[in-house]
Amino acid sequence: IAGITQAPTSQILAAGRRMTLRCTQDMRHNAMYWYRQDLGLGLRLIHYSNTAGTTGKGEVPDGYSVSRANTDDFPLTLASAVPSQTSVYFCASSDSIAGGSNEQFFGPGTRLTVL
Amino acid sequence: GQNIDQPTEMTATEGAIVQINCTYQTSGFNGLFWYQQHAGEAPTFLSYNVLDGLEEKGRFSSFLSRSKGYSYLLLKELQMKDSASYLCAVVDSNYQLIWGAGTKLIIKP
């Protein structure tokens, strides 16, 4: 089934631990994104990738890193988790980043709690 | 700075019509999206406007006025399944989406 998958669905993590959130899409989209969604705030862009091999920083990149080794996968790593990173994380993809009408498709999300 | 404003919450009655407003101030404008997000789920695409005017798609319509920095989403013949949050997002000059906090729509029988 075409779409975006994320893993894990949810995770409770001790502060200071390293964690990688996985994201895979099978739509052959060039652009991929990581957002966090917190109550009362809009989706905030953490990192993005225009195409395989390139990445860029979004609005809230501190404490997070990404890689884009191929078209399908876009993992997000928290090097040393802190409680303020407790959030719901959404991965998304679109055909390209240029051209305003490119709809973003979202994965189901990962609910992360850092204690 | 960049800013997207939407009402936090709205309540409407099943079968009625509701209009959800969105005002924006962004660095550049390359279009405006509306997404629907049910509780605990991912956002899903509803509409895209880049030119002034009304775009109609079934029970949902979206309007844009670029000169006023204003859009609205109109939902007709409301159904209980329309209870969700509605997210407004503007494509800025860097082709990044700037998101509003969303409007939680509660439908009552």
* pLDDT tens, chain A, 115 aa long: 669 999 999 999 999 999 999 999 999 999 999 999 998 888 999 999 999 999 999 999 999 999 999 999 999 999 999 999 999 999 999 998 766 678 999 999 999 999 9
The SS3 of residue B35 is strand
Burial of A59 (0-12, 13-18, 19+ CB in 10 A): middle
Q: For B69, which DSSP code?
A: T
Do the chains contact at B31 and A101, CB–CB below 8 Å? yes
**Interface test mutation site (partner A, options B29, B97, B103, B104, max chain A beta carbons within 10 A):** B97
Return the structure tokens found at B82.
Answer: 């329309």
Q: Give the C-alpha separation, B92 to B109, whole Å.
A: 39
**Interface test mutation site (partner A, options B95, B98, B103, B104, max chain A beta carbons within 10 A):** B95
Lowest mean pLDDT among A93-107, B3-17, B24-38: A93-107
More reliable by pLDDT, A102 or B74: B74
Q: Which residue of chain A is at minimal alpha-carbon distance from B48?
A: A101
Return the structure tokens found at B57.
Answer: 């798609």
Task: Assess contact for A36 and A87: CB atoms under 8 A.
Answer: yes
Q: Give the C-alpha separation, B92 to B28, whole Å.
A: 5
Do the chains contact at A100 and B30, CB–CB below 8 Å? yes
Q: Does B70 touch chain A (CB under 8 A)?
A: no
Return the structure tokens found at A70.
Answer: 């191929």
Return the number of other C-beta atoms located less than 10 Å from residue A74's C-beta: 30
Return the number of other C-beta atoms located less than 10 Å from residue A63's C-beta: 14
Give residue A40's identity as a one-letter amino acid code.
G
Do the chains contact at B30 and A105, CB–CB below 8 Å? no
Return the number of other C-beta atoms located less than 10 Å from residue A60's C-beta: 17
Task: Assess contact for B5 and B102: CB atoms under 8 A.
Answer: no
Q: Give the C-alpha separation, B90 to B34, whole Å.
A: 9
Centroid of chain to Cα B40: 18
Q: Does B69 touch chain A (CB under 8 A)?
A: no
Task: Assess contact for A41 and A59: CB atoms under 8 A.
Answer: no
Give the residue-averaged pLDDT of B8-17: 97
Find, among B61, B5, B43, the residue nearest to A33 by Cα.
Answer: B43
